[in-house]
Amino acid sequence: MTGHVFVSPDALTAAAADLETLAHRLQATVDSNAPALYMAPAGTEEVSVTAAAYFNSVADSFLPVAATGIAELRAAAATLRRQAADYADLDDAFGSSLAAGG
């Protein structure tokens, strides 16, 4: 089929489901492990306090970025589902038009 594009709405829907599953697993992993990202200083001296503050700041920056990535996965899944529905609707419309002799 040179010059043609074949789109399988079922494949798009399956890919969307895979992305949703991945987003769900990532969210569950982040939620369950977020407390472990934070640490108390090992001691009261400056090095321990500074190291703990650094690692806690990394956790503070990681969690929002992880949430953004998870939201992007969900948005991509929603887009694929919408496109699959659009392709299926268009295919049905073309099929009906051809069946009617148009």
Report domain extents, the chain.
9-94
Global pTM?
Answer: 0.80
Half-sphere exposure of 18 (CA within 13 A, CB side): 7
As given in the structure block, the two tokens for residue 2 are: 């040179």
Phi, psi of 12 (to 5 degrees): -65, -40
Q: Does the 9-94 domain belong in CATH 1.10.1140.10?
A: no
What's the pLDDT score for residue 41?
Answer: 96
pLDDT per position as a tens digit, 1-54:
577 888 899 999 999 999 999 999 999 999 999 999 999 999 999 999 999 999
